[in-house]
Amino acid sequence: MGARKNGFYPVMLLTLIVFISIVALTLTNAVTKDKIELAKKDEIAEMLITLFPKMEGFTYDEKSDLYIPLAEQQPLGYAFMAEKSGYGGAISILVGLEPDTTLRGIRIISQQETPGLGSRIAESFFLQQFPGLAVDDVELTRKGGEVDAITGATISSSAVVEGVRKAILDKLNQLRRET
């Protein structure tokens, strides 16, 4: 017991424990890393399919940050991510456009809005208002647009609308500059 009382032993022990911890975590990370990446990709792919049901696969263009859903090698439209801060934090939204750049639809990838109120932005009764809108109509009805806000969740609704509109405008500008 004598050795355990002196200053050296506790430090050694703590170092050893930290070392074991690092090894254990590195191993777990090595096992789960690919799975986690895959889960993230799957999530976007699943959402893409609900936007473009005819899709057979998709490509991702890193330079323009666009997802291009394909059927028989032909693009069905474009999709990209939009982000906007809502009530409880960042909301990330997948925006789908038709080839003629009208809105195909949107899907909520992640959000931390209040359950039961703001979180309803991910439900279909809200999302189904978006398909077919022109960019300028993506605005809440009380501000002259075409989207009805969710009762009791104006902030979350308006965050989605603002985020989507801004993302489409930015993306169109960016594509115009590139071509």
Partner 1 sequence: MHSFTKNFLKGIIRSNPTFILLLGLCPTLAVSTSLDNAVGMAAAFTSVLLASNIIISLIRNYVPIRVRIPVFIVIIATLVTIVDLILQGFIPALSKSLGMYIPLIVVNCIILGRAEAFASKDNTTNSIADALGMGVGFAWAIVLISLIRQLLGTGALDLFGHHLFTVPGLGDNPVTIFLLPMGAFFAIGVLLALFRWMGVSTGE
Partner 2 sequence: MSNLIAIFFGMALVNNMVLVKFLGLCPFFGVSKKLKSALSMGIAVLLVMVVASVVTWPIFHFLLVPYNVEFMRTVIFILVIASLVQIIEMTIKRTNLTLYNALGIYLPLITTNCAVLGITFINIDQAYTFPESIIAALGAGAGFTLVLIIMSGIRERLDMADPPLAFKGTPIAFITAMLLGLCFLAFGGIIG
Binds partner 1 (CB under 8 A): choice among 2, 35, 128, 177: 35
Residue linked to tokens 């022109």: 134
- With binding defined as CB under 8 A, does residue 36 bind partner 1? yes
Which stretches of the chain bind partner 2, using CB under 8 A?
A: 21-22, 25, 28-29, 87-90, 154-155, 158
With CB under 5 to 8 Å by kind, the binding choice for 59 among partner 2, partner 1, none is none
Would you state the structure tokens that stand for residue 159, as one six-digit string? 């965050």
CB count, 10 Å around CB of 138? 25
CA–CA dist 165, 163 (Å, integer): 6
- With binding defined as CB under 8 A, does residue 41 bind partner 1? no
With CB under 5 to 8 Å by kind, the binding choice for 43 among partner 2, partner 1, none is partner 1
CA–CA dist 139, 159 (Å, integer): 10
Beta pairing partners, 60: 67
| Closest among 36, 30, 104 to 67, alpha carbons compared | 104
Nearer to partner 2, 110 or 173 (CB): 110
Q: Closest approach of Cβ 24 to partner 1, in Å?
A: 6
With CB under 5 to 8 Å by kind, the binding choice for 154 among partner 2, partner 1, none is partner 2
